[in-house]
Every structure is written in C-alpha cells, then in structure tokens.
Amino acid sequence: MMAHGQFLLKVEGLTVSFDGFKAVDNLSFYVEPNECRVIIGPNGAGKTTVLDLICGRTKATDGSVKFKNHELLKMREDQIVHAGVGRKFQTPSVYEDLSVFENLEISFPKGHSVFGALSFRRTVDVTARIQEIAETIFLADLLAEKAAFLSHGQKQWLEIGMLLIQDPELLMLDEPVAGMSVAERKKTAELLNRIIQDRSVIVIEHDMGFVADIATRVNVLHQGKMLSEGSMAHVQADPKVIEVYLGH
Ligand code: ADP
Ligand code: MG
C-alpha cells in the first residue's frame, strides 16, 4: 500500500440514496496511479451508479471522492472532466456522419488562442496527436472512414480514443467489451494494458476472462456495498463472492 497522499482517487463513505433505497452504501476504495481497477458484481449491484457519482452525473448523499486531493463531489460534471476524469458510457456515442479523423478532431480539448501564426502550429500538433491516438486504438488505416461504417467494436475503440485525446489521468469505462468478438476483446485488453502506462482506468466488466487479462485489482460490489477487494485470484477464492456472485 502506498501512503495515502499518493493515491490518484480516494473514495470514502460514498453513499447515494434514491427515495430511501441506498444504491451505493458507504463505499470506500483507493486507486493508485497506473492502475486498472475492475468493478464487478451482479446486475443492480450499483456499479454504474458509482461511476455516475464520481463523474458528477448523480449527486451523492454522503461521503467523499478525492481526485488528486480535489473534492469531486463539490464540482460540476464539466469541471470534473476538466480536472482530468474521462467517462465512457455503455453504448458508444460517436458521430456516425463524421470520419474517424473528424471524431477525434472535435474531441481535442479547445485551447484559447488559435489565431494567426499559432493556428498553423496548432493544426500540425493536433494532426500528429490524432495520428498517434488512431494507432493506439487500432484505427490508423481507417482515419478517412465514416464512423457509421465501423464495426461495433471499432466504434467502442473510437470512443475510447475520443476520451484519450483529452489526456485524462483517470478514465472510467462501463462495460467496454460488451458485444465485442473474442478477437476484439483481446485487442481491447492490449489497449487497456497500454493506456495504463500513462493513466489509471476504472472498468466495469462481466467477462471474467477479460477481467483476468486487465485487472491490477478487483472490487466486488453487492447491493451497493463492497463485498470483496483484491487480486482476481483473491476475489475468486473469497467464499462471500462465490456465494453471491460467481457461484451462480
Ligand atoms: P449495475 O450497474 O451494477 O447493474 P446500477 O448502478 O445501474 O447497477 O443500479 C443500482 C441500483 O440503483 C438499481 O436497483 C437501480 O434500479 C437503482 N438506480 C440507479 N439509478 C437510479 C436512479 N437515478 N433513481 C432510482 N434508482 C436508481
Ligand atoms: Mg451498469
């Protein structure tokens, strides 16, 4: 364990109550830099709600979420994005009528001065960054292709690229390999292992083979509470987990 100040994300006592029903109940966990944290748990366990709370889409009832020692629960959704937290929802939301290049281009963070001599320099930099991201997400040969013509898996990668171009320090992905082929899952695991060289990732996932390929640590959620936490091997061998989840 690292000293407390070294954590990228500190979630403590996080709670949200919907009309008295605690979807997330006194949850605490800590994410280190360069970590791929996977959250698993049965349907309705509260996994998506945890990401909604961290990214500011849902307001917490209680607790604290500190990102680099800034309290996210006091910030708006756009401020949280600006602070360096990216979030991908379950269904891909790319611009179907735009090319892969254009989808990445419009996701590039907007700067302040883009006038005169600066704009040429900027165009060169943006293009280089788009090329680099496209290679990372396996779409370098498809930059001119309309997003509408990509496979479901390629659209998922494009959306990950649209987040990566903003250079978040924490990236949160909700079931990114759902609907992907086995080959696409393998490539996505490769992609995640590569991107945690520069940032941390929190992934919600069901596919245990995929989890084993990517997770540095696993959190098991059940009825809004933390049931178990540790390595994949640790949680898989935990009798509590076997009883409520993996045993089914
Ligand atoms: P998971 O992603 O683990 O399948 P969710 O986080 O989507 O679970 O949901 C956890 C529970 O919280 C579910 O019972 C769901 O119906 C409930 N829930 C989620 N969001 C809301 C909301 N905005 N209002 C009321 N109930 C909600
Ligand atoms: Mg969910």
**What confidence tens digit (pLDDT) does each residue in 9-19 have?**
999 999 999 99
Listing DSSP states for 38-67 in one string gives EEE-STTSSHHHHHHHHTTSS--SEEEEEE
Task: Describe the strand order of the beta sheet including 62-67 as a list of residue ranges.
Answer: 21-31, 9-18, 62-67, 70-71
- Burial profile 111-126: b = 16 or more Cβ within 10 angstroms, e = fewer: eeeeeeeeeeeeeeeb
**What confidence tens digit (pLDDT) does each residue in 54-77 have?**
999 999 999 999 999 899 999 999
Q: Which residues line ligand 1 (CB under 6 A)?
A: 18, 23, 41, 43-49
Q: State the Cα–Cα distance between residues 138 and 135, nearest whole angstrom.
A: 5
SS3 109: coil
Measure 45 CA to ligand 2 centroid, in angstroms: 8
Q: State the Cα–Cα distance between residues 80 and 171, nearest whole angstrom.
A: 12
Q: Which amino acid is at 199?
A: R
* CB atoms inside a 10 Å sphere around CB 211: 21
- The reported pTM is 0.92
pLDDT of residue 89: 84
pLDDT of residue 120: 64
CATH number for the domain spanning 53: value is 3.40.50.300
pLDDT class for 121, splitting at 50, 70, 90?
low
The residues whose Cβ lies within 5 A of ligand 2, an ion, are 47-48
* Spatial contact of 39 and 94, defined as CB atoms under 8 Å apart: no
The protein residue whose alpha carbon is closest to atom 19 in ligand 1 is 49
User: What's the number of domains the chain is made of?
Assistant: 1
Which domain range does residue 44 map to? 4-246
SS3 79: helix
Which atom of ligand 1 is nearest the CA belonging to 204? Answer: 2
Measure 46 CA to ligand 1 centroid, in angstroms: 6
Contacts of 57 (CB under 8 A, 6+ apart): 77, 87
pLDDT of residue 113: 46
Q: Which has the minimum average pLDDT: 21-25, 201-205, 207-211, 224-228? A: 207-211
* Spatial contact of 161 and 95, defined as CB atoms under 8 Å apart: no
